[in-house]
Amino acid sequence: MTMIRPAPLDVERIRAEFPILSETVHGKPLVFLDSAASSMKPTAVIDAMADTMRKQYANVHRGLHWMSERTTDAYESTRDAVARLMNAPSRDEIVFAKNSTEAINLLAHSYGSLMQPGQAVLITEMEHHANIVPWQMLRDRAGIELRIARITDAGELDWADYESKLADGRVALVAMTHMSNVLGTYTPAARIAAAAHAAGAKVMFDGSQAIVHRRVDVQALDADFYVFTGHKLYGPTGIGVLWGRMALLDAMPPFMGGGDMIGSVSFEKTTWARVPHKFEAGTPPIVEAIGLKRAIEWVEAVGYDAIAAHEAALTEHALARLADVKGLRVIGQAQDRGGVVSFTLDGAHAHDVATLLDRNGVAVRAGNHCAEPLMRRLGVDSTARASFGVYTTLGEIDVLADTLERVREFFA
């Protein structure tokens, strides 16, 4: 059987759609390797948001005039785009938040209120703070146990430990990253969900990184909840998504109260709007949602198969080039990994490495990457992190490696 491979990306054509990539930094061409923190935006997204504000802006859901109705249609059509992107069963299961962090806090508050003292939430050692702190807050206010599944030295989920943490049947929710923002590790999501369900638990995946690089099908994963944020997916800040199974969302109380999330209000009693509006109090991120829709359409036009193949090639090239830099250690050796490479350099603090790279036009992230417990597990206090996007080139990886050689000599 002949395997059909995706056509290679025309990366230069794609880069031409990102105006910011033609900028210079300290007189050097910009080499942007910080997409895991926030991606750059294509012209299509910028124009969609600007055109909304120029030509059709009004508040949504409440107006009977033409401008409001037109803007409402544009805003609500984003639910259809998100549902299509994730293969969600219903557009009404798409809840808008301002980012993944708010989506997880919503879940911790609303789904967490249905949990009983003595039940547990199970996370892992490689979670972002956004998938740690809300569960700690739930633990402290409601008597919920917080369990931590270990990872291996390679940076993969310790499966035996994960199963052992599920074994007593007290875990009500597994909340786990789909792709680590530090290690690039993809977790085996479908297998994780199957084990969780067998133990009577629901499962949520933090897809903030994963959905940028690979196609996500929430039905194939058999997830119960899935969150992601728009600003990493080539869209704007201020817009994120919580997808959940309708039966679960229906059972959950609202997260915040106010306008647009109500059925009726009196001084004696308030009733709630139907899902998803029950969870969307106040004026929503209208322009940002319209920008997210355009970003989704843009990603779909490029194609996930081509994106995944391109970024796999980038990651392979980066690991090979960085292996030749004396004194550099790549953190994490997961077999299934995405376009995120964290590293340390002997004798140099990560902040100093990032500063010197910046002086040569190379943008990377440095610090603990909102994952302090993972840093401690790995025995480091910080790392530098290079992360790739659809616009990243092999030549930019070479610039990174060559510049790191000069940085290394500075600290020698």
Contact 173, 201 (CB under 8 A): yes
14 carries an active-site annotation = no
Rounded distance between C-alpha atoms, residue 276 and residue 95, angstroms? 5
Rounded distance between C-alpha atoms, residue 111 and residue 103, angstroms? 11
Q: Which of 370, 380, 394, 402 is catalytic?
A: 370
Sign of CA dihedral 157, 159, 162, 166: positive
Per DSSP, 254 falls in state P
Contact 146, 136 (CB under 8 A): yes
Length of the chain: 412
Alpha helices (H) along 54-169: 66-86, 100-110, 133-142, 159-166
What does the block give as tokens for 18?
A: 């990102």
Neighbours of 268 (CB within 10 A): 5
Rounded distance between C-alpha atoms, residue 202 and residue 304, angstroms? 28
Q: Which residues are the active-site residues?
A: 370
